Amino acid sequence: MIDPIAFRLGPISVHWYGIIIAAAVLLAGALGAGEARRRGENPEHGWSMLLPVLVLGVIGARIYHVIHQWDYYAANPALIPQVWLGGLAITGAVVGGMLGIWLYTRANKLSTLRWFDIFATAVLLGQAIGRLGNFANQELYGPPTDLPWGIPIDAAHRVGEWMNLQLYPVETARFHPLFAYEAILNLVGLGLILWISRRFAHRLYDGDVFLIYLMWYGVVRTYLETFRTQNWVIAGVPTAIWIGVGAFVLAGGLLLLRHLKGWGTPGAWMRRSDETDADAAPPDATAEAQPG
Structural domain including 19 reads 5-142+177-264
pLDDT bin (cut points 50, 70, 90) of residue 284 is low
Query: In this predicted model, what pLDDT tens digit does every residue of 28-83 receive, in sequence order?
Result: 999 999 999 999 999 999 999 999 999 999 899 899 889 888 888 888 888 888 88
Looking at the predicted structure, is the pLDDT value of residue 230 above 80? no
105 touches 41 (CB < 8 A)? no
pLDDT of the residue at 283: 52
Per the DSSP assignment, residues forming a β-bridge with 15 are 5
Average pLDDT score, the chain: 88
Strand pairing report for 237-238 and 5-9: unpaired
The secondary element (H helix, E strand) that includes residue 212 is helix 208-225
The span from the CA of 89 to the CA of 238, in Å, is 14
pLDDT bin (cut points 50, 70, 90) of residue 214 is very high
**Residue 288 included in any domain:** no
Query: In this predicted model, what pLDDT tens digit does every residue of 128-138 receive, in sequence order?
Result: 999 998 898 89
% of the chain residues with pLDDT over 90: 62
221 touches 243 (CB < 8 A)? yes
**Residue 290 included in any domain:** no
- How many independent structural domains does the chain possess? 1
pLDDT of the residue at 271: 67
How many other C-beta atoms lie within 10 A of the C-beta of residue 151?
A: 18
**Residue 187 included in any domain:** yes
pLDDT of the residue at 32: 94
Q: Per-residue pLDDT averaged across 3-21, rounded?
A: 88
**Residue 279 included in any domain:** no
**CA-wise closest residue to 150 among 182, 180, 127, 129:** 180
The secondary element (H helix, E strand) that includes residue 274 is helix 268-280
**Residue 251 included in any domain:** yes
Looking at the predicted structure, is the pLDDT value of residue 215 above 70? yes
**Residue 78 included in any domain:** yes
**Residue 152 included in any domain:** no
The span from the CA of 162 to the CA of 144, in Å, is 8
Terminal Cα distance for the chain, rounded:
85
**Residue 18 included in any domain:** yes
Q: Per-residue pLDDT averaged across 162-168, rounded?
A: 92
Looking at the predicted structure, is the pLDDT value of residue 286 above 60? no
Looking at the predicted structure, is the pLDDT value of residue 280 above 60? no
216 touches 244 (CB < 8 A)? no
